[in-house]
Amino acid sequence: MSNPFKFDPKLDFSIERVIDAPVRLAWEALTRPEHLKQWYMPRQWGRVTNAELDLRPGGIVSIDIATADGKSFPNVGCILEAIPMQRLVWTSMLFPGYRPAVFDDVPITAIMAMESQGDGTRYVFTALHRDAADFEKDMASGWAEGTTIAVDQFVEHVLAMK
């Protein structure tokens, strides 16, 4: 699995898991809205109320969440790359169609890469941040904890699909 970027621990966050399931199931869980709803939001924190993906460069990634306290948060971004069974890249810094985004949250570019490893899948989630201030803000917010929980839920969901 090659990286199209240089990982910088002062700006980037990464989680790696080996899943005892084939790549095709991991890709399906990652790219189909009905599956995203099952794992994307930490269950104890809330739920996904709507998910939409158009897996082409410039396409939409939209994942709306509702927190346990009843607040709703729409999340809209732009697909940058979708290579089936290998890599999905999206950013919150752009809206669909590569239109510049306006938002109040910390912007990221998310890279989800996978490859076969024996009978299973090596899965790597990486979030690239704009600068050290954004990275620190995300780390202090609980975002990394929530993302780790979501990745664990992703693995659990893929295994349940077997």
Contact 33, 53 (CB under 8 A): yes
Question: Cα–Cα distance between 45 and 90 in angstroms, integer?
Answer: 23
Token pair for 27: 């890709």
| Structural domains in the chain (count) | 1
CATH number at residue 84: 3.30.530.20
Report the predicted TM-score, pTM, of the whole model to 2 decimal places.
Answer: 0.94
Give the pLDDT confidence score for residue 85 in this predicted structure.
Answer: 97
Token pair for 18: 């080996």
Degrees (nearest 5) of the Cα angle 126, 156, 118?
75
37 is a domain residue? yes
Give the pLDDT confidence score for residue 146 in this predicted structure.
Answer: 95
Between strands 46-53 and 72-73, the pairing is unpaired
Token pair for 107: 């912007």
Give the pLDDT confidence score for residue 105 in this predicted structure.
Answer: 82
Domain ranges, residue 119: 12-161
Residues 6 or more apart from 116 whose CB is under 8 A from it? 22, 23, 122
Query: pLDDT category, 1, cuts 50, 70, 90?
Result: low
Hey, which bits of 12-152 come out as E strands?
12-19, 46-53, 60-67, 72-73, 76-83, 87-91, 94-95, 99-100, 108-117, 120-129
The pLDDT of 11-35, averaged and rounded, is 98
7 is a domain residue? no
